[in-house]
Amino acid sequence: MTPLAEHLARIFFIGIGATALLDLWSLLLKRLNVPTLDFALLGRWVGHLAQGQWAHHAIAKAPPVRGELAIGWLAHYAIGVAFAALLVAIVGTQWLRVPTLLPAVLVGVATVAAPLFVMQPAMGAGIASSRTRTPALNCLKSVANHTVFGAGLYLAAAAIAGIA
């Protein structure tokens, strides 16, 4: 395997692993009756993006898109892989062999900008959930989720480095 192929494979599996940890976190939150993102709504937004519609007043009221749940899950994992690639682009490929926690968590926390300033406004929730009943709580949940994702980046990278 070429070094580039090895790096890409590691990035892919790190993104998948970190996203899977985030999903386990979301399952825990659901068991504690804490609302989490409905991936069908993410898929609906992505589906409407493909049709040229960026923003919605309320994504839940937008017309459903065929296969939106599958699209949402695929987008969720693709975003996780993209964020893993962002981490490696920032810290360098040496991190793949000797991962450290701090850069992973910092990048994980920084990626909270995507939902707060892109996805939530585009889905009708406003910047940083400002159009919801509990904007501060929603922002806190987003930061917590992305912190867990950042920890997942490190844990997945450490597991892969330990196997390789």
Q: For the residues 99-107, what does the mean pLDDT come to?
A: 98
Give pLDDT, residue 1: 87
Under a CB-based contact definition with an 8 Å cutoff, are residues 132 and 59 in contact? no
| CB neighbourhood size of 3 (10 A) | 8
Domain boundaries, the chain: 3-163
Q: What would the pLDDT profile of 10-35 be if each residue is shown by its tens digit?
A: 999 999 999 999 999 999 999 999 99
Residue 164 has pLDDT above 90, yes or no: no
Complete DSSP assignment for 118-142: IIHHHHTS-GGGTTSS-HHHHHHHH
- Percent with pLDDT over 90 in the chain: 97
Predicted confidence at residue 160, as pLDDT, reads 97
Decide if 87 contacts 17 (C-beta within 8 A).
no
Instruction: Tell me what the mean pLDDT of segment 114-137 comes to.
Output: 96
| Phi and psi, residue 66, nearest 5° | -60, 130
CA-wise closest residue to 63 among 50, 82, 45? 45
Query: CA-to-CA distance for 72 and 79, rounded, in angstroms?
Result: 10
